Amino acid sequence: MDFNLVDLSLRIRSDTNTAIAELIALFVREFSSVCRASVCRWTTRDCSCCSSRVSCAWYRVFGQELSTDPEALRCHQKPSLPFVFSFSPTGDNKPECQEIECRLVVIGRAIPQLAMLLDGVDAVLSSHECHGRFHILERTSRDYQGVPQALNAVSAMENLVVLSAAAIMECQPWECSQVDIRLGFPLTLRRDGRYMKKFDFQLFTRSLLRRVSSLAYYYGEHEFEYGFKSLSQQCDEIICTDDHFRYETLSGGNKRMSGVSGYGTFFGNFSGLLPFLALGSYCNAGKGAAFGMGRYELIASGGAYAD
């Protein structure tokens, strides 16, 4: 499988008490444009008319170009963005000075464009809207066990730990009967045009299978050999034995940052499903996944396997 990712952690200090919802909204609003400004001389030009788009770093990440294969288009539809942010407070935060961890997972063919993405993070945090209150203290790249490796200050690619999706999936137990899922940020999914108000394992897992397979196809040039139809049917046999989920809005956020949060325990046959749930935990789930929504942790059979 030629489907890789990198798992970065950026430790950020804020001179004021900052709502995570504020950071998410800022990155949703600014990240694409500041990345484009860092590499493109014609930021107002329509990319479809630009002869340089094939080799353009911005277009490779943000272009979301559809497949020309009708069958692939039917299966995978529009590609998601090949990066995933997550934001969370760290340690003992004082009101006047807060530390935040920004996790950034970069997927497949977006990895060579890492310099542009990191420049984009710097540009967002130093924009006039932030009034100079954010400072990046440390950049690290994490291995399979989550152990951090400091990135080279000059070239992030030198100390970069590249993770194989195959290795992430293979280290999961294939025979497992109990899984705990904890949603760290609201999960937003729709069924029949309506937003999900309660956690639905079947809807969550099927959405995640589509997301992971689409990312693999568009950015890893890989198609999974597993039978997704049988995995989808397998979801119907999973039951929730302990439900502590709730519908809420992320603190400081608006309706767009509303969804299902909380945790629950699920029982059933997870053989074949668990590797995809583990890989999906790097990618978040649902609407707004690229910018931090739908982040979840997975614990299988009493052991932590992904977060």
pLDDT tens column, 71-84:
877 888 889 999 99
Q: CB neighbours of 108 closer than 8 A, spacing ≥ 6?
A: 3, 4, 5, 82, 215, 216, 218, 219, 220, 221
What residue has token string 């029949």?
192
Domains contained in the chain, CATH given:
4-164 (no CATH), 168-306 (3.30.70.1900)
Please state, rounded to an integer, the average pLDDT across all residues of the chain. Answer: 89
Q: H helices within 179-304, ranges in order? A: 201-220, 228-235, 273-280
Range among 164-173, 180-189, 229-238 with highest mean pLDDT value: 180-189
What average pLDDT does this structure show over 119-141? 91
pLDDT at 49: 84
pLDDT at 156: 65
pLDDT at 305 over 60: no
pLDDT at 107 over 70: yes
User: Interior CA angle at 257 toward 148 and 220, to 5°?
Assistant: 50
pLDDT tens column, 211-222:
999 999 999 988
Q: CB neighbours of 8 closer than 8 A, spacing ≥ 6?
A: 103, 104, 105, 106, 139, 140, 141, 142, 151
Quickly state the pLDDT bin for 302 (edges 50, 70, 90). Answer: very low
pLDDT tens column, 32-87:
999 999 999 888 888 888 888 888 999 999 999 888 888 877 888 889 999 999 99
pLDDT tens column, 254-277:
888 999 999 999 999 898 899 999
